[in-house]
Structure 1
Amino acid sequence: MTKSARADMITVLAMQWNHRNVENLHKTLSKRFVKTTQRAQTEVDNLESLKQELNISLEDTEQWVLEVKQWAATEKHGGQSSQEELQREIDDIIYSLRRKKHDLYRQNDSNQTRQRKRRRLTELKKKLRERILQYNTIDTCTETIDTEAICSLSEDVILPWEAQGDMVNLRTKRRLFDQVMLVRRMEEEKVIIVKEMTQH
């Protein structure tokens, strides 16, 4: 087969593939809509069970979401690291590590991708150890952080600044925030699919 004939054949096959996709689009969209609706309902149920577990109302939920957004919007100061900045950075790294570890097998199919993610996790853990060591050397810190316990990423480990007072820690608020955002994404996905279905 000549080069031009091969190019023509590929073009014809691509056109047929596109034609089949257009013909089957209604089936594909309806399947996507059903899956998205089921997933949205599952996530709503998960959110409700989380709210019951945390024993919070709708107003508290909105307040926590707002607090997490405000926390994320606050600027990080460069230069000399104060105790509060180190606490924030340690919180950020721990949160990032937990998310990446949770998504490692759920979102990555190939072993190469997982290997790259594991390497990134190792780098983050090294950075976390450095920040904890830096935090432990600050004179004003009354309690030190157990590096190994924190690096194990266990949910049971409580940081010294989280243990102070009876305030709800940021980790719990983030957990709720993530679930609320997931529910909103699912609702947006449903709206998008409905728009696509009406256009087809």
Structure 2
Amino acid sequence: MNTTAAHTSSVDPSSASASADAPLRVAVIIGSNREGRFGPIVARWLLDRVGERDDLVVDVIDAAEAQLPTALSFSPSPEVLAELGKVTPKLDAADAFVVLTPEYNHSFPASLKSLIDWHRDEWQAKPVAFVSYGGISGGLRAVEQLRQVFAELHTVTVRETVSFHNAGAHFDDEGNHRDPAAPDAAAKAMLDQLAWWGRALREAKAVRPYGS
């Protein structure tokens, strides 16, 4: 009884309300660092969709710029610490993530796995959505593997995705989608789910930190 009363009195309703109304910070992660990659075209399309919403604000994390090694270390070099300094604060500040991934040999890129594995607490109790692209599969095999990876990191992966099959054929030379109605609708459904989970988990953690 006393414990419950103490816990309830520790939550400031006005602060919780302000937090609930604040836009969600979404980190959009461009997972490929491959030369000649198609990812930036899909990323621009995605960022335009996110930019139309007033409930989301965006940070972009590009695996090609992060320069994180695949060899993990408990004692990173100063160079690696400098690269982490560009990425880790954005992941930590994010309320939610959208991971943009191609499919290479039925899986996702090593650059994305490295970025994931260099972090742990930054992912926990946050939602993750996926935008994928590729050939016939549209990157969906990469997404299904990523769901397993992120489950281990205590995230919530949202059900709705956006997938571009034979992606290069769907965008013109200026990076505009040739027939945007269906992907725009898919993006709205995905971002709506991401926003719901982002708000729900942010409000829950304001009342009780995850793992307590």
Structure having greater relative contact order (Cα 8 Å, sep ≥ 6): 1
Structure of larger gyration radius: 1
Q: What interval of TM-score do these two structures reach, taking the shorter chain for normalisation?
A: under 0.3
With normalisation by structure 2, the TM-score equals 0.25
